[in-house]
């Protein structure tokens, strides 16, 4: 049974099959997530099917990892072909796919070099290391004193270093001592950034759109002002485009909305097409040349399978169709959700195929909204109490978006 064979509808009570999968996962896998009670088994395009044959519209898309949809034919074909040839050599040797991938990603970003890794958190860690080393070797910051400015409400991952500058109590509680060298400022406040910069500052790390925060955007002009400030003060502008990039926001990168080019792009999620973990940073020689043999690496980073998939992802993005479709989806989401402000929603934020809705907390929580949507064949994720994010795959049809809008409207107005 495929995703296209199963009609969508309301979700019945949890079956014995579903319960068995959930119980096994809860018993043997660490409880670092609180999933909705649905067990997915298949996916095609914007739709997924659970183990009982129920069909759902995927409005999370793997936190933007599935921008091109489930089981994208082009990406699956490339991955299948590469699986039969060569998957891993480690960087102890060259392989015949990495060079082409690096060239393509440099072309997409306009940068001189890329450094491939695997997960998004690894890419952020890589950007931090490169920024610090650049600060010592190029800018001349005294050894051991480099500082990086971060933004309140950020989400860059959950490694020990990254949670060191998180203000999420759940992500930080019980994990001290933390890594020093970070200064947090209010998101979108250029004056706060300027005041925090001193002679030890090597970089400003930020998300052009805060996805985990609920699709939160800085004030218009902030990115341009930040670019000018970083140039003036000789500080690296480091854009975490892991969720916001690669067509999610309607442009190739969210920074493109203000025609801004950061010193370092941080990429992940959709770079692997939802098939395989692929991440990277991209920068020019002045920055990236601080990396020397043995100073940073990864067994799987830049492996042939990852490179083959990533190269095809870049080719798809260069066509521009996904960026245009993202914009179209955003227009539909804006038109559908905006009339609900004052009718159960307190605020709606949309940028491309990415929306955050704030629910009147007296009405329901974000978790309750997510559960009610699941019962109507929609999968979404709450964040920060009364906020729900929607990020459907960019292959979603107009009819798919209409199904989403109708379900949200029904939940709020029932």
C-alpha 359: how far from chain center: 23
H helices of 135-238, in order, are 160-163, 169-172, 190-196, 222-233
**Burial grade of 359 (CB within 10 A; 0-12, 13-18, 19 or more):** buried
Q: 68, 101, 155, 300: which is the annotated catalytic residue? A: 155
Query: What are the structure tokens assigned to 218, written together?
Result: 């800085």
Residues 6+ apart with CB under 8 A from 28: none
C-alpha 351: how far from chain center: 14
Residues 6+ apart with CB under 8 A from 138: 286, 287, 290
For residue 21, give the H/E element and its range.
Answer: helix 16-28
155 in catalytic set: yes
Residue 350 bridge partners (DSSP): 355
DSSP 366: H
DSSP 142: P
269 in catalytic set: yes
3-state secondary structure 325-354: HHHHHHHHHHHHHHHHECCCEEEEEECCCC
C-alpha 110: how far from chain center: 20
Query: What are the structure tokens assigned to 280, written together?
Result: 């990277």
DSSP 216: B
Q: 111, 269, 300, 337: which is the annotated catalytic residue? A: 269
Q: 225, 240, 382, 400: which is the annotated catalytic residue? A: 240
Distances (CA, A) of 102 to 37, 105, 113, 115, 305: 40, 5, 7, 8, 13
Active site residues: 155, 240, 269
């Amino acid at each position: 049974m495929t995703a296209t064979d199963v009609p969508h509808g309301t979700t019945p009570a949890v079956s014995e099959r579903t319960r068995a999968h959930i119980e096994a996962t809860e018993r043997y896998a660490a409880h670092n997530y609180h999933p909705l009670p649905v067990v997915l088994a298949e996916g095609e395009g914007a739709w997924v099917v659970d183990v009982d044959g129920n069909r759902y519209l995927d409005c999370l898309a793997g936190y933007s990892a599935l921008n091109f949809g489930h089981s994208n034919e082009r990406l699956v074909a490339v991955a299948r072909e590469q699986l039969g040839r060569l998957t891993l050599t480690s960087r102890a040797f060259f392989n015949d796919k990495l060079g082409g991938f690096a060239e393509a990603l440099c072309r997409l970003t306009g940068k001189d070099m890329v450094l491939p890794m695997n997960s998004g958190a690894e890419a952020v860690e890589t950007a931090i290391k490169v920024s610090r080393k650049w600060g010592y070797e190029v800018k001349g910051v005294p050894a051991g004193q480099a500082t990086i400015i971060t933004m309140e409400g950020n989400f860059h991952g959950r490694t020990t270093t990254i949670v060191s500058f998180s203000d999420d109590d759940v992500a930080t509680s019980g994990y001290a001592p933390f890594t020093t060298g970070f200064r947090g400022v209010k998101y979108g406040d250029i004056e706060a950034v300027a005041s925090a910069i001193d002679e030890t500052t090597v970089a400003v790390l930020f998300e052009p759109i805060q996805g985990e925060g609920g699709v939160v955007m800085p004030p218009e002009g902030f990115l341009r002002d930040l670019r000018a400030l970083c140039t003036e003060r000789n500080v690296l502008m480091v854009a975490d485009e892991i969720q916001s990039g690669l067509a999610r926001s309607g442009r190739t990168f969210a920074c493109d909305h203000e025609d801004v080019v950061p010193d370092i792009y941080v990429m992940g999620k959709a770079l692997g097409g939802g098939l395989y973990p692929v991440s990277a940073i991209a920068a020019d020689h002045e920055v990236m040349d601080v990396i020397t043999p043995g100073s940073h690496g990864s067994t799987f980073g830049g492996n042939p399978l990852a490179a083959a998939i990533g190269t095809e992802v870049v080719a798809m993005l260069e066509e521009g169709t996904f960026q245009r479709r993202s914009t179209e989806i955003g227009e539909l989401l804006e038109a559908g959700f905006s009339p609900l402000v004052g009718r159960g929603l307190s605020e709606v934020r949309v940028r491309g195929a990415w929306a955050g809705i704030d629910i009147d907390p007296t009405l329901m929580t974000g978790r309750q909204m997510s559960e009610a949507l699941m019962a109507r064949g929609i999968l979404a994720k709450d964040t920060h109490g009364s906020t729900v994010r929607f990020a459907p795959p960019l292959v979603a049809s107009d009819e798919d978006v209409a199904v989403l809008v109708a379900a949200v409207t029904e939940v709020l107005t029932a």
